Amino acid sequence: MSLTVLNHPLAEHLMAGLRNKDTAPEHFRHCARRITTLLAIEATREMKVAQCSVETPLETMKGKDFAQGLSVVPVLRAGLAMLEPIVELFPDVSVGYIGLERNHATAVAHSYYVKLPKLAGRYTLCVDPMLATGGSASQAISMLKAGNPAAIVMVSVVAAPDGVARLERDHPDVPIIIAALDRGLNDKKYILPGLGDFGDRLYGTI
């Protein structure tokens, strides 16, 4: 299993905006979009490319272009915040959706919606901003694996060590790309110091 934590001043700046309890939903969404762009660039680093011929205005040269398709699957609801910037970067991406919601008492997620494109042979990003216990991400990745993608990368904004350990145990073949690795979880399984409930802050439903 590989864990990559973005290490960049812009990522730190955007994380400070996301974590601040006084950040309003509009600015929260703005920071989420921008940090997703940084995460998506890192998460697609291992996509396969192939040589192609490019004619510049002066001569012909060997360039490189994508050699495999890309899919992205946000975990609803919070993962939706990460979809648009990925579609901006990769307009040909195919998109699926997995709806998972944690039970507030048990923190165990149940699935309420699944709509996936063909994933076979595709480089697939599973995007969910919060990796807390890792239960939601583990379930989502199992669903994606059933579609036989060429690779799956888990992309989150903040992770707790518990979530990372859970994925390491359940899906050691799936690399994780995050912007911050936090200290731990509270008794309600929220990430500490974290940023609160991402979905509620995104949609103003607190």
Q: Which residues of 46-64 are buried (b: 16+ CB within 10 A; e: fewer)?
A: ebeeeeeeeeeeeeeeeee
Which of the residues 58 through 117 are near ligand URA (CB under 6 A)? 78
Q: Are 10 and 38 in contact, with CB atoms under 8 Å apart?
A: yes
Please say which residue, 3 or 107, places its beta carbon nearer to ligand PRP. Answer: 107
CB of 67 to ligand PRP, least distance (A): 31
Report if residue 132 touches ligand PRP, rule: CB under 6 A. Answer: yes
Nearby residues of 56 by Cβ (< 8 Å), 6 or more positions away: none
Active site residue 106: yes
Work out what residue 85 binds among ligand PRP, ligand URA, none; the CB cut-off runs from 5 to 8 Å by kind: none
Please say which residue, 68 or 197, places its beta carbon nearer to ligand URA. Answer: 197
Reference 33, options 202, 205, 183; nearest CA is 202
Rounded to whole angstroms, the Cα distance separating 89 from 93 reads 9
With 0-12 / 13-18 / 19 or more C-beta atoms within 10 angstroms meaning exposed / middle / buried, residue 149 is: buried
Catalytically annotated residue among 65, 106, 169, 183? 106
Q: How many CB atoms lie within 10 A of CB 166?
A: 19
Using the rule CB under 6 A, which residue among 93, 154, 191, 202 binds ligand URA?
191
Work out what residue 131 binds among ligand PRP, ligand URA, none; the CB cut-off runs from 5 to 8 Å by kind: ligand PRP
Tell me the catalytic residues.
102, 106, 197, 200
Footprint on this chain of ligand URA (rule: CB under 6 A): 78, 130, 132, 190-191, 194, 197-199
